[in-house]
Amino acid sequence: MRLVYVLDTNDLRAEADFWCAVLGFEREEGEHQTYLALRDPGGRWPDLLLQKVPEAKAGKNRMHLDVVVPDVAAEIDRVRGLGAEVLRPTVEEDGHLLAVMADPEGNEFCVVQRLDGTPGE
C-alpha cells in the first residue's frame, strides 16, 4: 500500500509551482491535463497529486496539510511571499504555535511549530 494525498485545483501549473516551492517537491515531467504528481525528491513523504477540476473550492477543507517547521513566523512570511494568505493568525494550541493559511486557490493548510523544541520532521 502507498499513501498519496490528492488536492483539487483549477490551475495545475500554478498550484504545482506553489506547492513545489512550499514543500521542496518536484513535479512529474510530461504533458498533464487532469493530474500532476508532486514528489519528494528524497522519497520520504507521500506524493501530492493535483487533480484539475472545473468547480471552484467551496467551504472548508475536511482534510488539510500541516507544514511543521522550526520557526512559524519565518515560514508564514515565506509562504505569503509565494502567494499564500493568512486565514487565522498564529495562536498557541496544545503545545504548538499554529496559523491557518490558504494556498492561492483557497485550500487551507496550517503552519505549525512545536513548542517543546522537537524538530518538525
Q: Is the pLDDT of residue 80 over 80?
A: yes
For the residues 90-111, what does the mean pLDDT come to?
97
Share of the chain above pLDDT 90, in %: 87
pTM of the model: 0.92
Neighbouring CB atoms inside 10 A of 114's CB total: 16
**Looking at residue 4, what is its pLDDT?**
94
**Residue range 102-121, pLDDT digits in tens:** 999 999 999 999 999 787 66
Grid coordinates 511571499 are at which residue?
81
5's enclosing H/E stretch is strand 4-9
Domains and CATH numbers, the chain: 1-56 (3.30.720.120), 57-121 (3.10.180.10)
**Looking at residue 121, what is its pLDDT?**
61
